[in-house]
Structure formats: C-alpha cells, structure tokens
Amino acid sequence: MSDLNQNYKGVFDGRLGFGKNPAVLVVDFINAYTTEGSPLFAPDVVTAVNETVDLLALAREKNVPVLYTKVLYNKNFMDGGIFVQKVPVLKTMVEDEPLAEIVPELPPAETDIIVIKQYASAFFGTSLAATLTSLGVDTVILTGCSTSGCVRASAVDGMQYGFRVIVPRECVGDRHEGPHEANLFDIDSKYGDVVAKEETMDYLKSLSS
C-alpha cells in the first residue's frame, strides 16, 4: 500500500472537502443485503446499516435532506436491460418483494425522498441530479451498498454532475473486504473524499439547524 500511495502522490491525492449545503444519499440499504439466507446477504452491510442510524438522525435534526434509492423492476424485467442478464439475482427486485424494501433500521421519514432506479448509479435514468440541484445541494454524503457497485457508480456520477462526494467509510459496505477497500481507494483518489464517520458527524454538527 505504501508503494501505491507513493505512486498516486501528487497526482490522485487532491481533497474536495465539505461544501455548504449537504444532502445524505442512502444507496440500496435494502433487506436483500441484510437478510441471512438471501443470495445478496453481506454481513459487512449489516454493520454499515447500523453505523448509518445516528448519522441520519443527526442529518434530520439539522434539516439536511435525506434521499434513499432502491431498485425496482417491472415484472417482465424489460426495464432491466443487460443488467439483469448479467446479474440475474436482481430479478428479486420487484414490487411487493420484502427483500426489495428499505431496511427497517433506517425507515424513511415523511420528509425524505425515495428514488427508484434500475441500474447501478443512483443518478442514471433518475431525477436525482435535478432534485439535488433544485434543493441547492453542493455536497452529497454517500452511504449504502455495495461499495464496489452502486456506491462507486453513484460517486462517479455525483462528481460528474458537479457535487462534492463525501463517503463516510463506516457507512458503506460490500460482500468482501478486497473490492470494498479497492473501491474506497479509487473513490478517494479520483471521485470524492473518503472520510471517517466521525469527521462527517462533526461537519453535520457544525451546521445551523
């Protein structure tokens, strides 16, 4: 890792920092990833969900917008395109399927926004970018799963839409430590800032309510 850090030094080690108007984006924290026996079950996602509980509570206390994503397909899966062909387990994500629902540990409030998506990025094919822009958001605090899939894709697109992307590392999870750490490294190098949850909490506490 020291050789890798040295290789990136001065090239991919810039920092964005927090802006003035954040929103918290909760990507795909759904039962499929936290239910034992589910094909997508990932214990580290369970941990990330639990770490996100007080972060969301603080965000709401500070009147910071909270937005969720979840994946839903028509039952003919035609809106899933090539993605559901590549990853057939996604066909679990249909209306009335309990595994497709947001985890009970992080229930959306009436003031929150739920974005439905069909692909990895929370921005692709959704109104998310327009919604954030209309709210005056400049910083996206990105939580959710999986780090190597939907979180990374959302981080890349978030940066490309002009948002400061901040990832509290304790609040994202994956199926395996290898891709999790590799993608956090890439996000931190090129697309946003990966920070400790404590730093994110301190930032939120500093905001006026």
Q: Which residues are catalytic?
A: 150
Quote the CA–CA distance of 50 and 20 in Å, as a whole number: 26
175: its two tokens: 């199926």
Residue 163 per-residue DSSP state: P
Q: What is the DSSP secondary-structure string of 19-42?
A: -SSEEEEEE--BGGGTSTTSTT--
Distance CA 69, CA 118 (A): 10
Please tell me whether residue 9 adopts helix, strand or coil conformation.
coil
Residue 73, both tokens:
């397909």
The pair of three-digit structure tokens given for residue 72, joined into one six-digit string: 């839903």
Which three-class secondary structure state does DSSP give residue 150? Answer: helix
Residue type, position 46, single letter: V
- CA-nearest of 24, 26, 209, 198 to 106 is 26
List the structure tokens of 114: 């739920």
